[in-house]
């Protein structure tokens, strides 16, 4: 599966930004899609994840209540709506897919995801 992330850019704190991630192959019902982010010199960290079948979601504490992950099944796409971003949200954002054969709880563990997109840079200024 190839993933293409888009929508990054420069915004001021408090403005909204919408990231999209499109898959090149069909996303099967048991798959999970996730967003991670990374700043230079730091580990890639979990942001949010969604189950393809049910649309269940999981968020990191740092974005809970501000960001929203959703899926568009018809377009094979996952979206991260960033509301009220802050300068500390500045990072390269990556989407990832976790290929599963069975229903499985969502996870924030980076190593559990199988394929990654190329990343899109988000810069939030104060």
For the beta sheet containing 67-72, the strands, ordered from the edge strand earlier in sequence to the opposite edge, are 3-6, 17-23, 77-82, 67-72
pLDDT tens over the chain, length 126 residues: 899 999 999 999 999 999 999 999 888 889 999 999 999 999 999 999 999 999 999 999 999 999 999 999 999 999 999 999 999 999 999 999 999 999 999 999 999 999 999 999 999 999
What are the residues whose beta carbons fall under 8 Å from the beta carbon of 4, sequence distance 6 or more? 21, 22, 24, 117, 118
């Amino acid at each position: 599966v190839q993933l293409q992330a888009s929508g990054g850019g420069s915004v001021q704190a408090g403005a909204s930004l919408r990231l999209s991630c499109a898959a090149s192959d069909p996303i099967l019902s048991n798959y999970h899609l996730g967003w991670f982010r990374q700043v230079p010199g730091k580990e890639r960290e979990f942001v949010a994840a969604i189950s393809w079948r049910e649309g269940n979601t999981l968020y990191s504490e740092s974005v809970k209540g501000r960001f929203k992950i959703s899926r568009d099944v018809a377009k094979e796409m996952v979206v991260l709506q960033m509301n009220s971003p802050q300068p500390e949200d500045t990072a390269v954002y990556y989407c990832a897919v976790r290929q599963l054969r069975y229903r499985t709880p969502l996870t924030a563990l980076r190593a559990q995801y199988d394929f990654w997109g190329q990343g899109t840079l988000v810069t939030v200024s104060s």
